Amino acid sequence: MKPNLVFKLVSNSFEAENLRKIRNECREFMTRNTEYISEEDQQKWFLTAHKKYQLYLLYNIECGVIVDPIGYGLIRTEDTEYLVTGGLTAAARGKGIGQKLFKFLIDNTKKDKPLRLEVLKSNVSAFNVYKKLGFITTYDNDKLVYMEYKYDSPI
């Protein structure tokens, strides 16, 4: 059965706490800060996060009811680019939900500057999702692949 999903912009500290929990569960797939984020650190960060980030929680809908969050997405606005990242709970992985998450992030990014992301070379499944969505490799090293979205991608 296909999952029914809904995305919600994170707007309060309770939702930010849910994001923190999912993010901490995904640390092994992170390319930058892989440290455990405490509740206190998350609260401080969230106070100013809205200035640089669009933060989303992804929820599964069962029998018409929104249930626990199963993922998060983040669009970071920089001077010259947008950076996207996200993660899913272990139970949500391998079901095509990651593709829907990143398609949502692409669709919710302005097209006025490059859209980029980073992925661990060891995370082959995420790399394949990004490639399928229209990201191309711009650079790689022994640990990371840097990718940019091609806005003219057919997906």
**Tens-place pLDDT, residues 105-154:** 999 999 999 999 999 999 999 999 999 999 999 999 999 999 999 887 66
In this model, does residue 1 exceed pLDDT 60?
no
The CA distance from 86 to 6, in Å, is 15
* Mean pLDDT within 94-104: 94
Contact indicator for 144, 120 with CB cutoff of 8 Å: yes
pLDDT tens per residue, range 22-47: 998 888 887 777 787 888 888 888 87
pLDDT at residue 153, rounded to an integer: 61
Helices and strands: H and E segment counts in the chain: 4, 7
Q: What is the 3-state secondary structure (H, E, C) of 134-154?
A: CEEEEEECCCEEEEEECCCCC
> What pLDDT is recorded for position 82?
95
**pLDDT for 3:** 67
Q: What is the pLDDT of residue 139?
A: 95
Q: What is the pLDDT of residue 31?
A: 78
What pTM does this model have? Answer: 0.89
Cα separation of 14 and 22, whole Å? 13
CB-count exposure of residue 111 (10 Å: 0-12, 13-18, 19+): exposed
The confidence score (pLDDT) of residue 41 equals 83
pLDDT confidence of residue 155: 58
Delineate the domains of the chain, giving CATH numbers in brackets: 4-149 (3.40.630.30)
What are the tens digits of pLDDT across the range 49-96?
877 899 999 999 888 888 889 999 999 998 999 999 999 999 999 999
